[in-house]
Amino acid sequence: MARRVVRRSKEALAAGPQVPYSRAEVEALSAQKGEPAWMAEKRLAAWDAFEALPWPDPTRDEPWRRTDYRHMRWHEATPRRSVNGVVLDDIPEFHRAPLIGETQGGMVAQVGDATVSRDIAGELAKAGVIFTDLDTAVREHGDLVREHFMTRAVLPDEDKFTALHAALWTHGVFLYVPRGVQVALPPHSVMWAPLPGATLGHVLVVVDEGAEVTYLHEYASPDVSEQALYVGATELIVKDNAGLKFVSLQEWGNNTYGFTHQRARVGRDARLDWVVGATGGHFTKDVLEIELDGRGSWTRMSGYYFAEKNQFFDLDTHQSHNAPNATSDVLFKGALKDASRTVWQGMIVVQPDAQKTDGFQANRNLMLSKTARADSIPGLEIKANDVRCTHAAALSRIEEEPVFYLMARGVSRAMAERLLIEGFFMPILDRIPFERVRERLLGTIDKKMEDLIGTVEFRRSPRT
Partner 1 sequence: MGAVLEICDLHAGVNGTPILKGVNLTVRQGEVHALMGPNGSGKSTLSFVLTGHPVYEVASGDILFNGESILDLEPDERSHLGLFMAFQYPVSIPGVTVANFLRTALNAHRKAKDPSDKGVSIPEFRRLMLDRMKFLQMDPSFAGRYLNDGFSGGEKKRAEILQMAVLQPKIAVMDETDSGLDIDAVRIVAEGVNKLVGPEMGVLVITHYQRILNYIPPQFVHVMYDGRIVESGGPELALKLEDEGYAPYEEKYGKVVTAP
Contact indicator for 135, 115 with CB cutoff of 8 Å:
yes
Stretch of residues binding partner 1 (CB under 8 A), selected from 1-9, 251-259, 304-312, 413-421: 413-421
- Sketch the per residue contact string, 418 through 437, with partner 1: x for CB under 8 A, - otherwise: -xx-xxxxxx----------
| Closer residue to partner 1 in complex, CB, 385/464 | 464
Residue 352 vs 410, nearer CB to partner 1: 410
Q: Please report whether residue 415 would count as binding partner 1 according to CB under 8 A.
A: yes
Nearer to partner 1, 44 or 415 (CB): 415
Shortest spacing between CB 454 and partner 1, in angstroms: 11
Total residues in contact with partner 1, by rule CB under 8 A: 25
Does residue 411 belong to the site contacting partner 1 (CB under 8 A)?
yes
385 makes contact with partner 1 (CB under 8 A)? no
Instruction: Decide whether 240 or 417 has the Cβ nearer to partner 1.
Output: 417
Residue from the set 52, 62, 404, 435 that interacts with partner 1 by CB under 8 A:
404
Give least dist CB 275 to partner 1, A.
Answer: 17
Q: How far is the CB of 407 from partner 1 (least distance, A)?
A: 4
434-463 mask for partner 1 (x: CB under 8 A)?
A: --------------------------x--x
Parallel, antiparallel or unpaired: strands 114-120 and 106-111: antiparallel
Q: Of 170-178, 235-243, 407-415, 448-456, which part binds partner 1 (CB under 8 A)?
A: 407-415
Return the residues of window 258-287 that contact partner 1 according to CB under 8 A.
Answer: none
Compute the least distance from the CB of residue 446 to partner 1, in Å. 14
Closest to partner 1 by CB, 3 vs 463, is 463
The binder of partner 1 chosen from 233, 406, 432, 445 (CB under 8 A): 406
The reply to whether 367 sits near partner 1 by the rule CB under 8 A is no
> Least distance from C-beta 424 to partner 1, angstroms?
6
CB of residue 422 vs partner 1: minimum separation in angstroms?
7
Task: Decide if residue 409 touches partner 1 (CB under 8 A).
Answer: yes
**Side chain identity at 305, as an amino acid letter?**
Y
CB of 363 to partner 1, least distance (A): 17
**In the complex, least distance from residue 431 CB atom to partner 1, rounded to whole angstroms:** 12
Cβ contact 248:276 at 8 Å: yes
- Residues of this chain that bind partner 1 (CB under 8 A): 400-402, 404-413, 415, 419-420, 422-427, 460, 463-464
